[in-house]
Amino acid sequence: MAYLVGGVVFGLILEYIEVNSGGGYTYGRFWVMFGKAPLDIPLCIGIGWGIIIYTARAFTDSLGLGLWASAALDTLLALNIDLSMDTVAYRLHMWNWNWQGTHLNPLAAHWFGVPWGNFFGWQMVVFFYSASSRLFEKALVKIGNAIAKVVLTTFLALFCAEIFLFAMELYLEGLMYRKLGITSLHRFLGALIILIVIVLSGWRYKKVSSSLVPPIAWVVPAWLHLFFFSCLFICGFYTENKWMTIAACINLAIGVIVHVAPVRFGGKKPDTIKKITAFSTN
């Protein structure tokens, strides 16, 4: 629960700073908003961050992966959701990207109207928070007081993840572009390759896990994928750009495969292992 609540707080803080520091987007109208319009942020967006990050970890924790591979897979799972969600949510005016002065088509630029930098931001947000939380949980394991350990872990993970995130945005991204010509697309693709390599490398050393994937780890991504995928067709957005529709179909298929494959090919379940051991002993 601390990880979930921390994700909500983390999401609200980063969204407030992003919107108010010229992040290139503003939000539509929601029931509960924080701040002064038009630079206010919805409560539900912070909750969305927390839920997506939490359920991604609930999934990876059941796989027996190491710390870095788990954090990388958390990031890829969240990114898989956003690649489909953002294009539809943008067209539903849940949030609006500012393309004024760029001379680009606001519905076709970058990823069908969504800047590449947004997806690189998702990569950094999820990876920094997931890795920081796991690192501090491991480092503070000897603390006897459970409440103190949880509070301290959550606070340190939030603080460090925010520092890493905004250091990347304020200094490193600009430096990479000025000195090396690395654009937001280059950063996104480069980070994507690194994350995939980390997961594949960690998969070779994953341990046999005795825990099963909790239902919530499937329900949340399934709901988000199917909701926005349905809106794509119900609202008629699929007629706008065939490549966007194809990308949405592929991304949905990837989401299904990624969530089913570890269960289907990850080895025998603990109960099966016990039965085989008992049979061999007898």
What pLDDT shows up at residue 264?
Answer: 61
What pLDDT shows up at residue 281?
Answer: 40
49, 43 Cβ separation under 8 angstroms: no
| 156-173 pLDDT per residue, tens | 999 999 999 999 988 899
The most confident of the ranges 62-71, 97-106, 161-170, 190-199 is 190-199
C-alpha–C-alpha distance, residues 75 and 192, integer Å: 9
How confident is residue 210, by pLDDT bands cut at 50, 70 and 90? low
Instruction: State in Å, rounded, how far the first CA of the chain is from the last one.
Output: 43
Q: Which helix (H) or strand (E) holds 276?
A: helix 270-281
Where are the chain's structural domains? 2-281
What pLDDT shows up at residue 218?
Answer: 92
Segments in 21-106 forming alpha helices (H): 43-60, 67-91
* pLDDT, average across residues 179-208: 94
What pLDDT shows up at residue 269?
Answer: 46
Q: Residue 273: is its pLDDT beyond 50? A: no
pLDDT above 70 coverage of the chain, percent: 92
| 65-94 pLDDT per residue, tens | 999 999 999 999 999 999 999 999 999 999
Q: Which residues contact 250 (CB under 8 A, 6 or more apart)?
A: none
Burial of 126 (0-12, 13-18, 19+ CB in 10 A): buried
Q: Residue 30: is its pLDDT beyond 50? A: yes
* pLDDT, average across residues 204-230: 89
